[in-house]
Chain A
Amino acid sequence: MSLNTSPKKRYSVFAVAREAARYHTGWGRAWRKPQPKKRYDVVIVGAGGHGLATAYYLGRNFGITNVAVIEKGWLGGGNTGRNTTIIRSNYLQDPSAAIYEKARGLYETMSQDLNYNVMFSPRGVIMLAQTEHEVRGYKRTAHANALQGVTTEFISPQRVKEIVPIINLDGPRYPVLGGLWQARGGTARHDAVAWGYARACSDMGMDIIQKCEVTGIRQFGGEVRGVDTTLGPIDCDKLGIVVAGHSGVLADMAGFRLPVESVALQALVSEPIKPVMDCVVMANTVHGYMSQSDKGEMVIGGGADGYNNYTQRGSFHHIEETVRALVETFPMVSRLKMLRQWGGIVDMTGDRSPILSKTPLEGCFINCGWGTGGFKAIPGSGWGFAELMARGQSPLTDEFSMFRFREGKFIDESVAAGVAH
């Protein structure tokens, strides 16, 4: 099994049967491990979901396959492997709803498109309304979603109880007054999304170069010329920076500043139990959300730190706040042991909406600022960012320019919708 055999083998039930008959000795590597070439048309920095999706759609939609995706650590080892895998598109503002719904739609057929099982499970997402303000906010969102072509509805507390029998409607602090229900939201296997894109990119002839850190961005006359890396210099015509929490570090190398601050966002996972909840529930007022993985673990999203840090663990007191919120929403959680807790570095912008944009450096593009809601956007973000890089413009990303702050054209999801991200 050589490292660089072409892994064109199609995954199917027949392939499984064939391999079973020969003791699974015939599976190749899912993607090649090449050394970097001297020059590429496009270099993407960051082999997380967004970076790999960008490379994939550059090849699939625009025929640009002389592409390298370079990664400091290992593929999908940042926030792609650290999130709570929730997929939804019930946003208030039109630009957000457009890109998140594009992403959600692409998730529906992703396993077939990539020939890789990403286990997309459109099990439904409820966002609980627990104050009058939230009730009005979510009704407004449901109306906005109807106009945007995103299928959501505002449902009664009784309906919430039917969908989620383990919920406690009369919590000690905030009773459940209703919920925003997106039946086609859900979850997917986060690692498989990165792996599936990586395999498809590698099959198109793109180079995915891991353990290769960018140490500098080479430019001449205001145009990008390439990157310096720990594996030597690599030339490129276009550069895409897709590095989430470390965007500020790369922007500093490129010589511009970003309206981004990095904080740690936490998640935790309980011991595995039998199936108790077949949808995703988000309780933003008390701040906790939960779903059940296919292994049976309760996957729990926690709070973000209030201060800048790059620690990938987060503050201890947020665990207490999250667990308190869950125990009052789902009393059965009080009997569970928590198995793991971890943090990811999320990049927060001033208006809590992402940046998919040209930069002051010609030929250099940046995709960052997804904050606490990046996983659900991966295919839509890759689709739009690839179009932006290939054509210089994309209807999906027009509103997400990094220059919108100067012009005051915010996409103000956090304030307008009153939702946690």
Chain B
Amino acid sequence: MLTLLCPCCGVQADETELAPGGEAHLKRYGPGSTDDDFEGYLFMRENPRGVHFERWRHANGCGKWFLAARDTVTLEVYGTYSAQTTEPPEHIKEAITAKHPGWSWREFA
């Protein structure tokens, strides 16, 4: 079973305690944006086979949102971090690089 450390309350939570929230670090586009940007924001997803950044909510716990870096093939978790950020913190990027030299995910590497 997938377990994630909630960075908000510090609980190592089982996946039954968590609600998945899809891809993280989406740039939001609203009225006035181009069709391309709006479609990209609403529907297009990275869906990588490997490193993935995603949103989770500690639904049956503290109720707060946080972000996680996880491998979609091995289910290895590289770390969880606060949702109040626009890019993954350095120690998470380093943990991924140690396992997958040369990885990239959208503009992150």
Contact = CB atoms under 8 A, between A and B. Distances in A.
Interface of A: 246, 248-249, 257-262, 306-311, 315-317, 350, 405-406
Contact of A261 (B2, B19, B36, B45): B45
A350 B42 contact: yes
A246 B15 contact: no
Interface stretch (B5-13, B47-55, B85-93): B47-55
B20 A405 contact: no
Contacts of A258: 44-45, 47
Contact of A315 (B1, B19, B35): B1
Given A317-B15, A317-B16, 8 more contacts: A248-B46, A261-B45, A307-B20, A310-B72, A310-B73, A311-B74, A315-B15, A317-B1
B49 A405 contact: no
B68 to A, nearest CB: 9
A316 B14 CA distance: 11
A250 to B, nearest CB: 11
Contacts of B23: 261, 308
A259 B2 contact: no
B109 interface: no
Given A248-B49, A307-B20, A311-B75, A350 B43 contact: yes
B40 interface: yes
B100 to A, nearest CB: 15
A262 B45 CA distance: 10
B39 A405 contact: yes
Contacts of B40: 257
Contacts of A260: 45, 47
Give me the 9 closest cross-chain CB pairs, A-B, nearest first: A259-B43, A248-B47, A307-B20, A306-B20, A406-B39, A405-B43, A257-B44, A350-B43, A309-B72
B54 A307 contact: yes
B26 to A, nearest CB: 13
Contacts of A259: 43-45
Interface of B: 1-2, 15-16, 19-20, 22-23, 35-36, 39-40, 42-49, 52, 54, 72-75
Contacts of A249: 49
B52 A306 contact: no
Contacts of A248: 45-49
Contacts of A262: 47, 49, 72
A405 B36 CA distance: 11
Contacts of B39: 405-406
Contacts of B47: 248, 258, 260-262, 308
Nearest to B19: A306
A316 B49 contact: no
Given A248-B48, A310-B49, A405-B43, A316 B1 contact: yes
A312 to B, nearest CB: 10
A315 B44 contact: no
A357 B100 CA distance: 34
A308 B42 contact: no
28 contacts: A248-B48, A257-B44, A257-B45, A258-B47, A259-B43, A259-B44, A259-B45, A260-B45, A261-B22, A261-B23, A261-B45, A306-B20, A307-B2, A308-B54, A308-B72, A309-B73, A309-B75, A310-B49, A310-B72, A310-B73, A315-B15, A317-B1, A317-B15, A317-B16, A350-B43, A405-B39, A405-B43, A406-B39
A105 B103 CA distance: 47
Nearest to A311: B75
Which has the most chain A C-beta neighbours within 10 Å: B15, B35, B39, B45?
B45
A249 B43 CA distance: 17
Nearest to A320: B16
Contacts of A310: 49, 72-73
B103 to A, nearest CB: 14
A36 B16 CA distance: 47
A350 B49 CA distance: 19
Nearest to B47: A248
Given A246-B49, A248-B48, A317-B16, A311 B73 contact: yes
A78 to B, nearest CB: 14
Contacts of B43: 259, 350, 405
A260 B49 CA distance: 13
B49 A406 contact: no
A258 B48 CA distance: 11
A397 B35 CA distance: 23
Given A405-B42, A406-B35, A406-B39, A315 B2 contact: yes
A261 to B, nearest CB: 5
A307 B68 CA distance: 12
Nearest to B50: A310
B74 to A, nearest CB: 8
B107 to A, nearest CB: 14
